[in-house]
Chains A and B, each alone.
Chain A
């Protein structure tokens, strides 16, 4: 019983202290006649208001998260060609920048849809129907991706 009482008093004291410090921080101007919690303010004067550390130099936040460095045309080209060579229907030797999907690589329009899907996955972009319609050669794809990522030569 005694232990419980002691714990209670300790808790009460802690709560009172917490209240008190917050009040002191809030009421910065010192005025002895002010009443705080129905007691004159000067009875707390022994407690100094908390020092707030203010940095003298403005800290600028430069965060890049997972931002990647700017892509270059060479990178886009290499990744696109690599992706095409992994297609099981495509002959890896036939893949060049200027090759046409349907005429040179012997694919059909549905395969082109799959290639567009693979490009979307590889680069994490979304290619809508109108844009997808214009992709007929490897070069088209690279140019479109260049537009999407604002790549300048």
Chain B
């Protein structure tokens, strides 16, 4: 493994850890509970723990970021619904 490759893999490791951190942070507000989300997230990360191909890892990180955006959208929608409920009786 050349030095450049090593550096790339270290950066990749940080990227994965940061993604995990961000996901866990977002998951604190998850409707089904923090633990539920955390367990799922942990499982999903562990499923791909043996991945070594950088391209593949990049793709997976991309998927993780997509999940983050979905979570944000979910919270936004929840907020919108809560606000709407205060104005209109259902």
Chain A contact residues, CB within 8 Å of chain B: 88, 108-111, 113-114, 116-117, 129, 132-133
B45 within 8 A of A: yes
Binary contact track B2-18/A, C-beta < 8 Å → 1, others 0? 00000000000010011
Q: Which of A88, A110, A133 contacts B20 (CB 8 A)?
A: A110
Chain A residues, Cβ within 8 Å of B38 = 114
A132 to B46, CA, bound (A): 20
Q: A110 touching B45 by the CB < 8 A rule?
A: yes
Chain B: which residue is nearest A120 at the CB level? B21
> A-facing mask of B22-59, CB < 8 A → 1, else 0?
00110000000001001000100110000000000000
Number of interface residues of B (CB under 8 A): 12
Whose C-beta in chain A lies nearest to the C-beta of B15?
A129
Using CB atoms, name the residue of chain B closest to A116: B21
Using Cβ atoms and an 8 Å threshold, which residues of chain A touch B17?
Answer: 109-110, 113, 129, 132
A110 to B35, CA, bound (A): 15
List the B side residues contacting A132 at CB < 8 Å: 17
Contacts of B14 in A (CB 8 A): 129, 133
Chain A residue with Cβ nearest B14: A129
Q: Which of B21, B35, B46 contacts A117 (CB 8 A)?
A: B21
CA distance A114 to B23 in the complex (A): 11
When C-beta atoms are compared, the residue in chain A nearest to B21 turns out to be: A113
Instruction: Verify B18–A129 contact, CB threshold 8 A.
Output: yes
Return B8 CB to nearest CB of chain A, in Å. Answer: 15
B19 to chain A, nearest CB (A): 10
Measured in the bound complex, the distance between the Cα atoms of B18 and A109 in whole Å is: 12
9 smallest CB-CB distances across A and B, nearest first, come from A129-B14, A113-B17, A113-B20, A113-B21, A110-B20, A110-B45, A110-B42, A117-B21, A114-B24
B46 & A110 in contact (Cβ 8 Å cutoff): yes
Q: How far is the CB of A106 from chain B (nearest CB, A)?
A: 14
| Nearest-Cβ distance from residue B44 to partner chain A, whole angstroms | 10
